[in-house]
Amino acid sequence: MTIVLGVCATALAQGPTYRFGTAPSQDEIKARDTAISPAGRELPPGRGGVKEGATVYAQKCLACHGPDGTGTKLHRGLIPLGNSKPVKIPGSLVPYATTVWDFINRAMPSTKPGSLTPDEVYAVTAYVLFLNDVIEESTVLDAKTLPEVKMPNRDNFLAVEIDWKPGQRRPLGNYP
Amino acid sequence: MGSHHSDRRQFLTESAALASLAAVGAVQSVSAQTPQADARLKDPLAYGQPSRFDNTVRKSLGNATPINDTALTTPLQDLDGIITPSGLHFLMDHINGIPEIDPKEHRLLVHGMVDRPLTFTMDEIKRFPSVSKVYFLECNANSRPLRGPNGDSVQLVHGRTSCSEWTGVLLSVLLKECGVQRDAQWIIAEGNEANKYTMSIPLVKSMDDILVAYAQNGEPVRPQNGYPLRLVVPGWEAIRSVKWLSRIAVVDTPAMSWHEAGNNADTRPDGKALGFRFELGPKSIITRPSGGQRLPGRGFYEITGLAWTGAGLVTKVEVSVDGGKTYKDAQLQEPVHRFAHTRFRFAWEWNGDEVVLQSRCTDEKGEVQPTIAEAAKILGVTPDYFLQADHFNGIQPWRINRDGSIQNALF
């Protein structure tokens, strides 16, 4: 078997060598692939606004994240999103609103991850984004409007060095 | 459990486990993954345990949070050589309870931009050609300078790095089996714990040296370290070495999942943030003598510690016994493995005066571990920036006082 390191183009000629494994059905893949990418193509139908979100929050999130998302002793607050870092970027840190949706959908509430309906996730995401001054109180989120939300720090992230190859020196600024 | 219940470590481990279970209510048992009826803890005679006089254990940072019951640091100051015993491997998970996964039920799904999506059973994964490598894993948030009370112990400040011999199949072998398509650029790896933790990794690294590991230090990977299957991404921040690995999607853009899309970003004075950080810088620390310990009197001591780098090979470690004014080469334990902890040793005679000991690592790319002042200069920040920053690889000075007590001398 020849191993060509780090060159994607060689992938084209990859044939099965060992023939282990089973082909999954499309349904199986669909059931297991719940990730939402920044473009939001995979978002399910459903909708929710800030007001419904406040209700979901009071029932399922407040106990840990505190009133208005300001946090309790045991839990981080939701304002601003992300860790507090030496130099804080004010407001919400994550570059895509789909990330907030995806994280709440897969990981929250942390005692029962995956238990929220799509409507509840849209609604409580709207509430969290409203708390972070990202959207207006009247905004309703769905598969179309969520990816259109522009997060305040979208343009403040330095580009991913996609050309970077293992073994190359780290780009300056990626150091230490 | 077996009858030999007096073992202190066993007791500690169990009570810690029970405490964490109590904290989350119950073990998160992923559906269709109930362990078999004969699944049970090992008898301490059938599976040997350390002496009850040996109290070498992981430690928590002390502040309780729901995810902190799994945030434990490796006791680097008590370990020798380069291998971290599996039960002492550091833990830092964004999860709520360690999943209990029955390997017979476990499936790895590889799909997305591939010609042939495939699911693999554990038995199938073990039929592929296997590779064993000694690799370190280091948390990107390791070495926050003053972590723990006064930042005075190497365990609490630097103990989020560990080194194991990992065995598994190269990820590139699995990807080629599926046939990666031309426009693919990334993979997204997902774990099978309740939160379905996800991370994106560039395809170039995935086709290079990443391991899909099922064994750690010769035995199956421990549940807390990802049983039955995990990624091991050599030289990169350990947040990408996804545990309980169950899904790999081959894609053209990164997922921008929570823990990579901002939550772990390092922000800069210019208002910019680095969302993706991969390779770790050259680092070394003296583990003995180190903060919190006490020298019993003047005379001979062996200064020893660990060095590692995301570049691959540690080529040189120097030790200074005068606070960095002069350095001399330390002896490296052979063989030196790429992407592994490297043990260094340095003979030293203490004359009883106050001294500052520190070490400096150089790697195969010629990169040299900076002092905190040098690191601050590179970023254009003041040194206190690193109190909260990730990826800090600055030199760690320890001050030996005349009474033999040892303190962190970084600030």
Q: Which residue of A has its CA nearest to B179?
A: A14
Q: What pLDDT does residue A140 have?
A: 97
pLDDT classification of A90: cutoffs 50, 70, 90: very low
pLDDT of B91 above 90? yes
In sequence order, what DSSP letters do the residues of B369-385 get, joined into one string? PPPHHHHHHHHT--GGG
**Contact residues for B40 (Cβ-Cβ < 8 A; gap 6+):** none
Tens of pLDDT, residues A120-131: 999 999 999 888
Contact between B179 and A156 using a beta-carbon 8 Å cutoff: no
Please, what is the average pLDDT of chain B?
A: 87
Q: What pLDDT does residue B57 have?
A: 93
Domain at A73, CATH number: 1.10.760.10
Query: Under a CB-based contact definition with an 8 Å cutoff, are residues B218 and B86 in contact?
Result: no
In sequence order, what DSSP letters do the residues of B386-406 get, joined into one string? GGT-SS------EEEPTTSBE
% of chain B at pLDDT higher than 70: 88
**Contact residues for A59 (Cβ-Cβ < 8 A; gap 6+):** none
More confident residue, B382 or B160: B160
A13 is a domain residue = no
A14 is a domain residue = no
- In chain A, the number of structural domains is 1
Closest CA to B326 of B359, B303, B282, B368: B359
A36 is a domain residue = no
More confident residue, A60 or A111: A60
Residue among A98, A111, A175 whose CB faces B96 most closely: A111
Contact between B66 and A64 using a beta-carbon 8 Å cutoff: yes
In sequence order, what E strands does B263-324 have? 266-267, 273-274, 283-288, 299-308, 314-320
A141 is a domain residue = yes
Q: Which residue range is the domain that position A109 belongs to?
A: 45-153
> Which letter, b or e, does each residue of A42-70 get, where b requires 16 or more Cβ atoms within 10 Å of its Cβ?
ebeeebbbbebbbebbeebbeebbbeebe
**Among the listed ranges B89-98, B127-136, B264-273, B313-322, which one has the minimum average pLDDT value?**
B264-273
Helix (H, G, I), strand (E, B) or coil at A107: helix
A164 is a domain residue = no
**Among the listed ranges B3-7, B64-68, B249-253, B381-385, which one has the minimum average pLDDT value?**
B3-7
Distance from CA of B311 to the nearest CA of A (A): 7
Please tell me the pTM assigned to this model: 0.88
Tens of pLDDT, residues B26-82: 333 343 444 455 677 888 889 999 999 999 999 887 665 555 567 899 999 999 999
Tell me what the mean pLDDT of segment B370-398 comes to: 87
List B279's β-bridge partners, or say none.
B236
A174 is a domain residue = no
| Residues of B (351-390) whose Cβ lies below 8 Å from A | 365, 367, 370, 375, 378-379, 381, 384-389
Tens of pLDDT, residues B219-238: 999 999 999 999 999 999 99
Q: Which residue of B has its CA nearest to A82?
A: B263
A122 is a domain residue = yes
A26 is a domain residue = no
Tens of pLDDT, residues B236-247: 999 999 999 999
